Chain A
């Protein structure tokens, strides 16, 4: 028993140390730097200021934030609309190997996300497969401008983030107690009513988890707008990157990234609260 404890302590200690050195301390440093002033010759001047946070609250950066949130919201809604029926059919099917089907959802994602994004680019280009096929069957006369549009960015985000919606939904729908549905049916509820009042409320934790898992990364996946959107729109991820690498304004970059983290923490907190509330009420 003692031996075992020692092993536990060592493993936990290694991981804790790892997180402390490579996650916690850098974050604390970012937090501190965000209150410093930009320096001409160094990385920052040690002088307390709130200006970095103040300058974020300008119309320009609000527009950046708004654009990023707009893209993330559209993506999340689309992924939910596509992912929910998929997860539902998958989880409720009587197929013997349904967990195998769930694994099949993940397998394409073993390839690098960057490579898959370039693959979408190949499909959408002027002389790519989609345009060639449409032209050959006579639907269009001239190739469509599919690439480097907002639509292409949304397509890329939806495709990349779909499994993050399907998997949590699959997990909650799979665990759904069939007796609730049967009881509702016995009491005369129509299929639509069962879905609206029984199935959806019971799968809310899955929906929220899926939405968070889609929404948060879609704020930060700056390479998809860069590759599929032609780098024409600045999103919040690009902004942070440019402040560090281009403008050499570490304090402001740190402040933006802290604000983003606060927004994310707030959303996770809301999720935790709602999940707790739903669990105590229903389950």
Chain B
């Protein structure tokens, strides 16, 4: 019996020693917390080779789980995070983000001015765009004449009953309800949200399905002919079936994106700046964009992209459409109102 105690003790001692042994390396690091499938490993290896800074990389799959961890650690533990636009606003309000020192980021000059200074972070004091995209209307021109579709309101057309797909996303679905009434897609007014709900109740019978994972599949299978779908998916669907077209609604497409941000308690802020500056380089940004189908915020990066991507008006809207895009912002406590109507929409109807 003694022997076994001894064995257990030895095992514990051994594991403690090895774990603490690992931590003793005195090396420059940057702790990155990013969405899964966003930056490929070879890009990080290039950064390590160039700067000698080791990248410690971990991933999350929702803004909420990232927020929970950063919040629990009170903004320490990670040096670089990638919240979505509307989470930037929330985390600024919670005091979880450190102000950005733009003088340490010479490559900011590469960014498209139209993407800066958005409502979620006026003046880009705390965040810089990383990757972005839009959500608009997808149409199968075999069944529906794309010229007849110009507005979100066309989704309500009785002709398309049972043939409409929408994103399974509370904010985007309410966005079309709100903007079709002329309100902001980021409305926090309970009356406006209720009015949007009443519109969505009328849309509900037309909806065949809610899908955000892979909306291109029902489009390609001809289960649905029209719907609210994000640009990257329509781009891929159109490659397989040229009948599928993307339409910018006259109310303006929905803009979304993820941003670079540095948590307030980050230990290696300078290394985080170095990494941001590296990822902002047009050639690097192009590699990320090409691999995962999001749009790069740097106009110059298009020189490094294959022609069909760089010239796609689905992935890169014209200046005119750019100006109409409304980016998603936090709705703060009104999310409860949204959530209530969302539940009601899916339950009562």
Chain A positions within 8 Å of B, measured between CB atoms, are 2-3, 6, 40-43, 60, 63-64, 67, 125-128, 145, 147-148, 226, 229-234, 239, 242-249
Q: Mark B313-349, 1 if CB is under 8 A from A, else 0.
A: 0000000000000000000110110011011101110
CB of A127 within 8 A of CB of B222, answer yes
Known: A40-B333, A246-B335, A247-B336. A126 touches B222 (CB 8 A): yes
| Binary A-proximity of B16-51 (CB < 8 A = 1, otherwise 0) | 000000000000000000000000000000000000
- Let me know if B211 and A64 touch, CB within 8 A: no
Pair A248/B335 contact, Cβ less than 8 Å: yes
User: Complex formed: what's the CA distance from A64 to B344 in Å?
Assistant: 9
**A60 and B211: CB pair below 8 A?**
no
B248 to chain A, nearest CB (A): 26
B1 touching A2, Cβ below 8 Å: yes
Is the CB–CB distance between B347 and A64 below 8 Å? Answer: yes
A60 — which chain B residues lie within 8 A by C-beta? 340, 343-344, 347-348
* Identity of the chain B residue whose Cβ is nearest the Cβ of A238 in the assembled complex: B346
A242: contacting residue among B1, B207, B333, B339, CB under 8 A: B339
| Least Cβ–Cβ distance between B133 and chain A, in angstroms | 21
Would you call B336 and A234 a contact (CB within 8 A)? Answer: no
B335 to chain A, nearest CB (A): 6
A229 to B346, CA, bound (A): 12
Q: Does B162 contact A (CB under 8 A)?
A: yes
B221 at the interface (CB under 8 A from A): yes
Q: Which of A2, A64, A226 contacts B343 (CB 8 A)?
A: A64
Residues on the B chain within 8 Å of A64, using CB: 343, 347
Task: With CB as the reference atom, state the residue of chain A lying closest to B162.
Answer: A145
The minimal Cβ–Cβ distance linking B28 to chain A, given in whole angstroms, is: 34
- Residue in chain A with minimal CB distance to B64: A245
Q: Which of A63, A231, A249 contacts B168 (CB 8 A)?
A: A231
User: What 5 A-B pairs have minimum CB-CB distances, sorted nearest first?
Assistant: A230-B209, A231-B210, A247-B339, A234-B346, A148-B209
| CA distance in complex: A147, B167 (Å) | 17
Min CB gap B62→A, angstroms: 6
Which residues of A sit under 8 angstroms from B335, Cβ to Cβ?
246-248
Are B211 and A246 in contact, with the CB atoms below 8 A? no
The answer to whether A147 touches B223, judged by C-beta atoms less than 8 angstroms apart, is: yes
**B349–chain A nearest beta-carbon distance, Å:** 8
Write the chain A residue with the least CB distance to B8. Answer: A10
Chain A contacts for B274, CB-based, 8 A: none
Docked Cα-Cα span, A53 to B348, in Å, equals 21
A145–B121 alpha-carbon span in the complex (Å):
45
Question: Which residues of A are found within 8 Å of B64, using beta-carbon distances?
Answer: 244-246, 248
B6 CB to nearest A CB, Å:
12
Inter-chain contacts of A41 with B (CB < 8 A) = 93-94
Cα(A145)–Cα(B225), bound, Å: 14
Q: Does B208 touch A at the CB level, under 8 Å? A: yes
Contacts of B1 in A (CB 8 A): 2-3, 6
Q: Which residues of chain A are near B148, meaning CB under 8 Å? A: none
Q: Would you call B336 and A233 a contact (CB within 8 A)?
A: no
Contact between chains at B4 and A249 (CB < 8 Å): no
Which B residues lie within 8 Å of A43 (CB)?
Answer: 68, 71
A127 to B241, CA, bound (A): 15
Q: A145-B162, A245-B64 are in contact. Are A232 and B343 (CB under 8 A)?
A: no
